[in-house]
């Protein structure tokens, strides 16, 4: 079995001040392009990656990722294709890969079967933003049985009591949303964000990952010492769309300089 996700993150953090996790939508612009995008990002130094299985109503996502989901679905991308493709990239690259998707995808596939398929394809965990722990017993039991990490989310609106409750179910890391709302909008990197991340750190011993609005080097610099992982998603899609895959490699390297 691969090293547990949390152990991987802790080992990597001994080498680097902050890790970088990126996000892509599977099947967008195509699976062939997705492979090239992943190859480019891994080559540029990304530490882990979330692979989004397209869904018709991705409620946590802003316009750019929403469009990518819609285009992938219009082209007929299926969950089975996403699972098979994920298996291919897991065996092609050394970094950990996670799935990100919405509960309806798991429900329709069969929760236990989905988790089994994830494990068989070498995924390390999953982010399911619309599945709260209270409704996740089957999912959590299956994830535990396969040694996979269920990633849960904190937001600035999450109370301390709720944070502690969520932490009791989470594995791998906690995804700290930098602000309310959806992905891709502007985030203010300020004292409020610093205090929020400090509070997150107090209530969980798990590594922290911070996303929503992280899109340039100065954002990454701001997050150093406050979080373990910076998450960049929308900006990757924007660069591929407007400047091409080659420019994406240059962008990733610029974040890590």
**pLDDT tier at 59 (50, 70, 90 boundaries)?**
low
User: What average pLDDT does this structure show over 202-217?
Assistant: 92
User: What average pLDDT does this structure show over 79-96?
Assistant: 97
Is 121 inside a domain boundary?
yes
Q: How many CB atoms neighbour CB 129 within 10 A?
A: 18
Please report the pLDDT score of residue 96 as a whole number: 98
Is 6 inside a domain boundary?
no
Is 11 inside a domain boundary?
no
Tens of pLDDT, residues 129-141:
999 999 999 999 9
User: What average pLDDT does this structure show over 66-92?
Assistant: 93
Catalytic: which of 61, 117, 219, 228?
Answer: 61
Tens of pLDDT, residues 16-47:
999 999 999 999 999 999 999 999 999 999 99
Please report the pLDDT score of residue 69 as a whole number: 79
Q: Which residues contact 221 (CB under 8 A, 6 or more apart)?
A: none
CATH number of the domain enclosing 151 = 3.20.20.70
Please report the pLDDT score of residue 3 as a whole number: 66
Please report the pLDDT score of residue 179 as a whole number: 55
Is 12 inside a domain boundary?
no
Kindly report the average pLDDT of the chain as a whole number. Answer: 91
Please report the pLDDT score of residue 181 as a whole number: 42
Please report the pLDDT score of residue 241 as a whole number: 87
d(CA 222, CA 214): 10
Please report the pLDDT score of residue 73 as a whole number: 85
Please report the pLDDT score of residue 147 as a whole number: 96
pLDDT at 184 over 60: no
Catalytic: which of 6, 15, 17, 50?
Answer: 50
Active site residue 50: yes
User: What average pLDDT does this structure show over 97-118?
Assistant: 97
pLDDT at 202 over 70: yes
List the domain range (segments joined by +) for residue 164.
Answer: 17-256
Percent of the chain with pLDDT over 90: 79
Please report the pLDDT score of residue 229 as a whole number: 98
Total domains, the chain = 1
Is 9 inside a domain boundary?
no
Please report the pLDDT score of residue 60 as a whole number: 60
Is 52 inside a domain boundary?
yes
Percent of the chain with pLDDT over 70: 92
**pLDDT tier at 182 (50, 70, 90 boundaries)?**
very low
Is 215 inside a domain boundary?
yes
Please report the pLDDT score of residue 12 as a whole number: 97
Active site residue 61: yes
Is 45 inside a domain boundary?
yes
């Amino acid at each position: 079995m691969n090293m547990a996700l949390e152990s991987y993150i802790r080992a990597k953090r001994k080498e680097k001040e902050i890790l970088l996790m990126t996000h892509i939508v599977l099947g967008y612009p195509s699976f062939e392009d997705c492979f090239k995008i992943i190859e480019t990002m891994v080559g540029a130094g990304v530490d882990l990656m979330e692979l989004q299985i397209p869904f018709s109503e991705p409620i946590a996502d802003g316009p750019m990722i929403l469009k990518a989901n819609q285009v992938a679905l219009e082209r007929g991308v299926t969950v089975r294709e996403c699972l098979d493709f994920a298996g291919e990239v897991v065996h092609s690259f050394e970094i950990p890969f996670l799935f990100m998707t919405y509960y309806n995808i798991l429900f329709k596939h069969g929760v236990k079967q989905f988790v089994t398929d994830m494990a068989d394809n070498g995924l390390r965990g999953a982010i399911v933003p619309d599945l709260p722990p209270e409704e996740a017993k089957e999912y959590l039991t299956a994830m535990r049985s396969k040694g996979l990490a269920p990633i849960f989310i904190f937001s600035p609106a999450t109370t301390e009591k709720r944070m502690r409750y969520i932490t009791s179910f989470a594995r791998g890391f906690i995804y700290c949303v930098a602000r309310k709302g959806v992905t891709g909008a502007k985030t203010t990197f300020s004292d409020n964000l610093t205090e929020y991340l400090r509070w997150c750190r107090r209530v969980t011993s798990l590594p922290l990952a911070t996303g929503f609005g992280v899109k340039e080097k100065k954002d990454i610099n701001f997050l150093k010492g406050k979080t373990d992982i910076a998450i960049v998603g929308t900006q990757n899609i924007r660069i591929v769309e407007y400047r091409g895959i080659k420019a994406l490699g240059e962008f990733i390297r610029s974040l890590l300089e």
